[in-house]
Chains A and B, each alone.
Chain A
Amino acid sequence: MPDMRDSQGPTARPYGRPLSPHLQIYRWPITMAASITHRATGIALYAGMLLLAWWLIAASTSPDAYAIFIRVAANPIGEIVLFGFLWSLAFHLLNGIRHLAWDLGYGFHVPTARLTAALVYAGSLLLAAAAFAVALMVRAGLGV
């Protein structure tokens, strides 16, 4: 049964009125996706700093402590986490530069903002893949 209260003027309670779109039904513009990804990668990097602290503590403690870190890092799950860290860092870095450009007043034109968002996604994946490939080559003793 339709609620008619919303047709009774400005003091009526807003029942039955159409709601503004929210996350579940909103089409995701790439600029919005980039904004959300920036926050998500920032939170991921916060957790990543724990790994960095572990790495330094292990390296400063003993060969045994360092061997434990390496065993976890070289595990397939560890490698996935490290790739995630590299990609998060690459994305946050590139999108952070995009934010700094906005702070200086550049890049607000909508087609430009869409293009730079796409470039940040593509560039961060390329950077992370390249860094990961270098890591695998160094580990295999190939050198770079």
Chain B
Amino acid sequence: MSTRHLRTPLAKIEGLGAARTGTGHFWHERITAVALIPLSIWFVASALAYVGAQQGAVAAYFAEPINAVPMFLFIVAAVYHMALGLQVVIEDYIHQEGLKIALLVLNRFASWAIGAAASFALIRMALAGH
């Protein structure tokens, strides 16, 4: 039995071979990049407007869905984009396999943790008083 028979029909169709993944990483990095152009401009404008403001004013700002929803999108897009970006940096510069895998896992854990913490705080403000 030759080795080519060991490949599943799905693996044959995907045709990725030893590359493990296709263009998904590249494409998702671009999609989040495009989304982050308006979202990050909106975020900086919002943050600048509330420099020196009281806690209550900031919480009231994010209690409005029109502000909470773009902020949530900004967090999700930014966290996913930074996870993809740092993954490439790790893959480019860390060549020791064990350390590389450990850092790739840590990168995903850290970015998800930051995103979850920021999202939880945001949702808390968005739902306050409702």
- The chain A residues found within 8 Å of chain B, CB to CB, are 39, 42-43, 45-46, 49-50, 52-53, 55-63, 65-67, 70, 86, 89, 93, 96-97, 99-100, 103, 131, 134-135, 138-139, 141
Contact = CB atoms under 8 A, between A and B. Distances in A.
A100 B33 contact: yes
Interface of B: 30, 33-34, 36-37, 40-41, 44, 47-49, 51-52, 54-56, 58-59, 62, 75, 78-79, 82, 85-86, 89, 111, 114, 117-118, 121-122, 124-125, 128
Contacts, number: 88
A56 B56 CA distance: 12
Contacts of A55: 47
Given A42-B86, A103-B30, 19 more contacts: A42-B89, A46-B82, A46-B86, A49-B111, A52-B118, A53-B117, A53-B118, A56-B121, A57-B121, A59-B59, A59-B125, A60-B122, A60-B124, A61-B121, A63-B56, A65-B55, A96-B33, A96-B36, A135-B48
